Amino acid sequence: MSAQRKASKGSVGIEVFQGRLRLRLPRQLYEGKQKYLTLGIADTAQNHKLAEAKARQIELDILAGYFDASLEKYRPQSYSTPDKPTKGKELTLSVLWSQYTEYKAKTLSVTTINKDFRKTRNHIESLPTQRLADAVSIRDASARTVTP
């Protein structure tokens, strides 16, 4: 699509490899070894914007000291392995909402998470059950609390 520009030392670069976009991470993060994060998206103008946003996120995390060297935090969702419930423990609506909030916190403001997402969390906690198997009961309880 466009010519690749050399990134300044310590910054995250965007490359096209086999028609797909990937991020070239700073060597100093991996003891001088070159590391890439494959984004799994085609080389288009819109996807370049997504790649730029992901690169800036990584650069900000590096500066703030929150960089995830395993890269799990930055991988596209389809590439990541979702957290599995501990053996013997049932996945509940509260746990599911907590995982979703953690995922969205990467792209939303702290205020949105603390204010708007808390309302939903409080609603979930007020439900008569948290079991996903009781979805109908949850739906019915939620319908009773919503005003038209």
pTM: 0.49
pLDDT tens for each residue of 32-81: 899 999 988 889 999 999 999 999 999 998 898 888 888 888 887 654 44
**C-beta of residue 88 within 8 angstroms of C-beta of residue 50:** no
State the burial class of residue 16 (Cβ atoms within 10 Å of its Cβ: 0-12, 13-18, 19+): middle
pLDDT of residue 79: 45
- Inform me whether the pLDDT recorded for 4 exceeds 80: no
**C-beta of residue 129 within 8 angstroms of C-beta of residue 135:** no
- Inform me whether the pLDDT recorded for 2 exceeds 70: no
Alpha helical stretches, state H, the chain: 45-64, 93-104, 110-112, 118-126, 135-145
pLDDT tens for each residue of 79-133: 444 455 445 556 888 888 888 888 887 788 888 888 888 888 888 888 888 888 8
Q: Name residue, tokens 């991020």.
A: 23
What is the rounded CA–CA span in Å between residue 83 and residue 78?
A: 13
